[in-house]
């Protein structure tokens, strides 16, 4: 999902294949020279018509800058879409939960699935990291991997403390920051057991 969201053209393909209404669009393929890209844009414009939206496929969007560039455009990932006159723009946060009554408007056209800074949903992951990192003795080490999938290790959390009891108490607070469905595999009972052995005394906890 994250990989698709990072590319607005792939978003359009995904939504279109799912039968969700989107504006007409076409990929602007990379060519060695700006002249060839310009020719392709003209061909696409002939099919989609004007006004034509020429956009960057990646975030953050730099639409106006692209139209002003005079340098070689061969390394930019672009796509074009037909301009859609719209009445208003709305932002919707979709969450998984209990079934609730709902309705849809056939005139709604999906513009983009985004993580724009102005939308509340874009701050959820950041807020979770801030909650965990704000705990005393806790730091988050992210691996910077490009894509994510269920079960893949994307980061780890470091917890340090003055004693075994301090560390276990802090780990318990970290666990409470996690979504409930991510704590099922944790041995929560082990967090209540502490060691009275001195650090460096050769003691190895059965539940490190």
Q: What is the pLDDT of residue 118?
A: 47
208 inside domain: no
The model carries a pTM of 0.39
32 inside domain: yes
Cβ neighbours of 3 (radius 10 Å): 11
Q: For each successive 10 residues of the chain (208 residues), what is the average pLDDT?
A: 76 87 80 70 81 71 41 58 74 60 58 52 60 78 73 80 84 76 57 54 49
Last residue of a domain, one of 50, 65, 82: 82
* Dihedral sign (CA 156, 161, 165, 170): negative
Q: Are residues 53 and 20 in the same domain?
A: yes
Cβ neighbours of 41 (radius 10 Å): 17
Last residue of a domain, one of 63, 82, 101: 82
Pairing of strands 52-56, 78-82: antiparallel
How does 151-183 read in b/e, with b if 16+ C-beta sit within 10 Å? Answer: eeeeeebebeeeebeebbbbbeebeebeeeeee
Q: What is the pLDDT of residue 128?
A: 67
CA 173 – CA 196 distance, rounded (Å) = 21
Range of the domain at 10: 1-82
CA 25 – CA 29 distance, rounded (Å) = 13
Q: What is the pLDDT of residue 70?
A: 38
Q: What is the pLDDT of residue 72?
A: 40
3-state secondary structure of 183: coil
Q: What is the pLDDT of residue 122?
A: 45
Q: Are residues 103 and 24 in the same domain?
A: no
Q: What is the pLDDT of residue 208?
A: 46
């Amino acid at each position: 999902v994250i990989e698709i969201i990072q590319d607005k053209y792939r978003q359009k393909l995904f939504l279109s294949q799912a039968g969700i209404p989107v504006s007409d669009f076409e990929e602007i393929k990379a060519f060695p020279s700006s002249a060839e890209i310009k020719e392709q844009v003209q061909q696409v414009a002939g099919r989609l018509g004007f006004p034509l939206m020429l956009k960057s496929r990646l975030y953050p969007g730099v639409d106006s800058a692209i139209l002003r560039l005079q340098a070689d455009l061969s390394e930019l990932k672009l796509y074009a879409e037909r301009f859609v006159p719209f009445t208003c723009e709305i932002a919707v946060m979709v969450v998984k939960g209990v079934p609730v009554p709902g309705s849809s408007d056939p005139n709604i056209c999906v513009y983009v699935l985004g993580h724009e800074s102005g939308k509340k949903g874009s701050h959820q992951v950041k807020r979770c990291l801030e909650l965990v990192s704000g705990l005393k003795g806790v730091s988050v080490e992210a691996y910077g991997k490009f894509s994510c999938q269920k079960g893949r290790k994307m980061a780890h959390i470091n917890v340090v403390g003055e004693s075994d009891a301090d560390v276990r108490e802090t780990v318990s607070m970290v666990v409470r920051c996690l979504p409930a469905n991510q704590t099922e595999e944790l041995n929560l009972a082990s967090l209540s057991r502490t060691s009275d052995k001195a650090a460096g005394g050769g003691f190895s906890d059965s539940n490190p």
